[in-house]
């Protein structure tokens, strides 16, 4: 898998940079120049920050459940730097001796580099610090040195930049780190020294006398030659999942299948709706034709079912015969239906044009349901309110129609 590693000096304007490309054949191709000249198409892109631009420090944080929030980490860094917490991006690296190890960097400068790289089509997948790209062994520190200054890694999650030194005198920052380690009985057995060039190699014996620790010369190593997968990231953002081309092709095919199924289903629903509408129109036309053939004197047909009921009731009344919608007939059926429901107390009853309204006093939900079932069994169309009142409170109204 190809890897593009970009060295990002946060203090500089994001216009040009140094980089190295690890291709699929394990080839290493270094380069430098404008951002627009960066190699395109790398499967993984890493951003490497200078040791002097990332503060790695310990902080004692209050105990919390789950992951530490970004706000808590930012305020912890504020106590160490006395700066605006919003100005820093703070990431938790790990835990050492009960303390949290934090990496602090400039949020605005890092975002400006991300934006500049994104503008030329380079998406950053991970951010590292050159300090934590040095190899480290148990009981030993690692120091990268260019002849004047450098950076040191003192543990899995710890390290930092050093100040100036020379061939005879090691940097003061390294001496102070060793004094702090002696106070905690954690002095390393040796320091692996990675000199940038043969000319940058110091006087090992003079350094050993000043530091009181053995110096082991190690091969040259920097961010360009570090292993392809450094262990410790310093960004707390989630990795963005980027599917492979084959996965995208499979999902594209599935998407087309789902889209075709959705179109077919929508078309079937539309055809079915049109068919039902056509059948409803045909049934209405048949009812109108039958109504006009039975009652040719009707002027207009608005509701053939209701108008047919009214004409039949009128014909029955003309022949001195009762109709199912008459008051006496409906009342008799109601009385018969509620004869075995003695607890139903009738509060009021009204009748108008084939519609009877019953008001029951404080029936309760169970009794309302029982009365409804009895009236439906008696052949009535019953309209019941959505929620009947609780027993002992108010009344409930039932509207009856004879079919």
In this prediction, residues 332-337 reach a mean pLDDT of 86
**What's the pLDDT band for 27 if we cut at 50, 70, 90?**
confident
How far, rounded to the nearest angstrom, does the alpha carbon of residue 169 sit from its chain's CA centroid? 54
Tokens of 282: 């045909």
Q: How is residue 240 annotated by DSSP? A: P
Sheet order of strands, 16-22 included: 28-34, 16-22, 3-8, 44-49, 126-129
- DSSP strand pairing (140-145 vs 190-195): parallel
Tokens of 360: 């029951």
Number of H helices, E strands in the chain: 8, 17
Which pLDDT belongs to residue 391?
43
pLDDT surpassing 70 at residue 355:
yes
CA distances from 288 to 102, 297, 298, 348 (A): 84, 13, 11, 38
Are 20 and 120 a contacting pair, CB within 8 Å?
A: no
| pLDDT single digits (tens) 301-322 | 777 777 787 778 777 778 888 8
Nearest to 24 by CA among 47, 48, 46, 4: 4
| pLDDT single digits (tens) 87-141 | 778 888 888 888 888 888 888 899 999 999 999 999 998 999 999 999 988 899 9
**What's the pLDDT band for 387 if we cut at 50, 70, 90?**
low
Which pLDDT belongs to residue 392?
45
Name the 3-class secondary structure at 348: strand
Tokens of 91: 């990431």
Query: DSSP string spanning 282-330?
Result: HHHHHHHHHHHHH-TT-S--S-HHHHHHHHHHHHHHHTT---TTSHHHH
Are 231 and 257 a contacting pair, CB within 8 Å?
A: no
* pTM of structure: 0.56
Q: Which residue has the higher pLDDT, 394 or 263?
A: 263
Q: What are phi and psi of 161, to 5 degrees?
A: -80, 150
How far is it, in rounded angstroms, from Cα 133 to Cα 231?
Answer: 8
Q: 146-174 burial by CB neighbour count: b if 16+ within 10 A, else e?
A: eeebbbbbbbebbbbbbeebeeeebbebb
Are 100 and 57 a contacting pair, CB within 8 Å?
A: no
CA distances from 243 to 228, 251, 252 (A): 21, 10, 12
Percent of the chain's residues with pLDDT above 90: 39
Q: Among 36-45, 185-194, 250-259, 299-308, which stretch is predicted with the lowest mean pLDDT? A: 299-308
Residues 6+ apart with CB under 8 A from 98: 60
The rounded radius of gyration (Å) of the Cα atoms in the chain is 44
pLDDT surpassing 90 at residue 389:
no
In this prediction, residues 240-256 reach a mean pLDDT of 73
In this prediction, residues 374-384 reach a mean pLDDT of 84
């Amino acid at each position: 898998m190809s890897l593009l590693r970009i060295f990002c000096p946060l203090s500089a304007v994001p216009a040009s940079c140094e980089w190295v490309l690890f291709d699929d054949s394990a080839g290493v191709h270094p380069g430098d120049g404008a951002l627009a000249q960066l190699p395109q198409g790398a499967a993984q892109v890493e951003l490497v920050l200078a040791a002097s631009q990332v503060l790695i420090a310990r902080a004692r944080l209050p105990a919390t459940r789950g992951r530490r929030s970004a706000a808590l980490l930012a305020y912890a860094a504020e106590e160490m730097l006395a700066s605006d917490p919003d100005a820093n991006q703070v990431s938790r690296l790990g835990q050492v001796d009960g303390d949290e190890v934090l990496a602090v960097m400039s949020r605005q400068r890092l975002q400006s580099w991300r934006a500049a790289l994104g503008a030329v089509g380079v998406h950053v997948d991970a951010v590292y610090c050159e300090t934590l790209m040095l190899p480290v062994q148990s009981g030993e520190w690692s120091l990268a040195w260019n002849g004047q200054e450098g950076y040191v890694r003192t543990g899995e999650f710890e390290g930092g930049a050093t100040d100036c030194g020379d061939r005879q005198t090691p940097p003061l920052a390294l001496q102070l780190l060793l004094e702090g380690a002696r106070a905690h009985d954690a002095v390393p057995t040796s320091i692996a020294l990675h000199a940038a060039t043969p000319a940058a190699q110091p006087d090992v014996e003079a350094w050993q006398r000043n530091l009181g620790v053995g110096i082991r010369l190690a091969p040259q190593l920097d961010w360009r030659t570090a292993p392809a997968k450094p262990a410790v990231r310093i960004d707390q953002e989630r990795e963005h999942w980027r599917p492979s081309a084959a996965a995208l092709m499979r999902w594209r095919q599935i998407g087309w299948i789902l889209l075709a199924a959705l179109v077919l289903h929508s078309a079937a629903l539309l055809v079915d709706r049109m068919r039902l509408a056509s059948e409803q129109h045909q049934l209405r036309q048949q009812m109108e034709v039958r109504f006009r053939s039975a009652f040719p004197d009707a002027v207009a047909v608005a509701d053939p079912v209701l108008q047919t009921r009214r004409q039949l009731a009128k014909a029955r009344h003309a022949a001195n015969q009762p109709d199912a919608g008459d008051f006496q007939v409906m009342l008799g059926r109601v009385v018969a239906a509620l004869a075995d429901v003695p607890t139903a107390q009738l509060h009021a009853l009204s009748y108008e044009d084939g519609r009877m309204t019953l008001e029951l006093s404080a029936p309760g939900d169970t009794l309302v349901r029982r009365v409804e079932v009895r009236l439906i069994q008696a052949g009535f169309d019953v309209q019941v309110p959505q929620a009947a009142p609780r027993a002992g409170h108010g009344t409930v109204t039932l509207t009856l129609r004879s079919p």
